[in-house]
Structure 1
Amino acid sequence: MDHDSDVRTLALGETSGTVPLARDFTRTALQEWGWLPAATADRRAAAEDVLLVVSELVTNACLHAEGPERLRVLRLATVLRLEVTDRGAGQPAPRTPHRSGRPGGHGMFIVQRLCLDWGIDRTPGSPGKTVWAELAAPA
């Protein structure tokens, strides 16, 4: 685990309970950075959004990309950036048209709605990718 003051890195692999592990790891980072416990409802909502996005990104890697390899949580000047690296070649995208009553297919729609921006980084010649998402840092 990397404990640079503004970066937290968690190695993920062939473990069960990956999503709760990722959420707990992210919650601890938010506590260390003073986001939690939240002083206001807005700050609490912002932290809950971060935990939900972590859950969705890690779940997507588990379901569609041969599992997540690494979670990075980065505290930048005005945003919190979440990065999930996996071994999959797929291209995550919100399912369109979005049907809220249908089970499944909501993960990237939720990420798109809650985040300022998100995307995919690939290393040429290397399998897998990093799916990243940025949320506004609480004021």
Structure 2
Amino acid sequence: MSASDSRTTDRPVLSGLPESGQRRQLILTGVVGTVGRCRDHTRQALHDWGWLPTEDPDQEARAEDVLLVVSELVTNACQHTGGADQLVLHATDRTLRVEVYDGAATAPHLRLPHTPGRPGGHGLHTVALLASRWGHTPRTDHPGKAVWAEIDLPRT
């Protein structure tokens, strides 16, 4: 392999996207097994967008990180807000944004002090560790909020 072959190019990781990006939405009202359904929906999107399957262990690990972020955000909505009612994935060639909508106006917060050996209270700490950014925004369509996380995508 020459030195030029090992350089990072400006080729997007999510090669299966239209130029403007793509948004995927999963309505969760009345859904049983919400976390698993959200993970399956996200995994399918990653397949459709060309991220999976992959022989690249770093890309595989990053895909697992995305699935873990989805799991943590949906689990938090189920445990603390009465349940998520929508999952939205928005991908461009630079960023993957995960949004989980619920009907509660209460803002999410990191549980402090964080005690790693104690059960519970790790979800948002995990999201903060794996995501490039995270936060929440109030809903404009009806009461509640969206808790979101953005993952910056590497270039290949």
Give the structure-1-normalised TM-score.
Answer: 0.91
1:138, distance to aligned residue in structure 2 (A) = 3.9
Structure 2 partner of 1:20? 36
| CA distance in structure 2 between the aligned counterparts of 1:76 and 1:118, rounded to whole angstroms | 17
Structure exhibiting the larger radius of gyration computed from Cα positions: 2
Q: How many residues are treated as equivalent by the alignment?
A: 136
Range moving further from structure 2, 18-27 or 73-82: 73-82
Structure 1 partner of 2:48? 32
Q: Structure 2 stretches of 5 or more lacking a match?
A: 1-17
Larger RCO (CA under 8 A, 6+ residues apart): 2
Return structure 1 stretches of 4+ with deviation > 6 angstroms: none
Please say if 1:96 is aligned against 2:112. Answer: yes
CA RMSD of aligned residues (A): 1.6
Match of 2:58 among 33, 42, 65: 42
Query: 2:148 is paired with a residue of what secondary structure?
Result: strand
Match of 2:138 among 116, 122, 132: 122
Task: Note the alpha carbon deviations across 1:8-28, whole angstroms, 9 max, x for none.
Answer: 100002222000000000000
| CA distance in structure 2 between the aligned counterparts of 1:49 and 1:73, rounded to whole angstroms | 14
Please say if 1:87 is aligned against 2:103. Answer: yes
| CA distance in structure 2 between the aligned counterparts of 1:124 and 1:70, rounded to whole angstroms | 14
Q: Structure 1 stretches of 5 or more lacking a match?
A: none
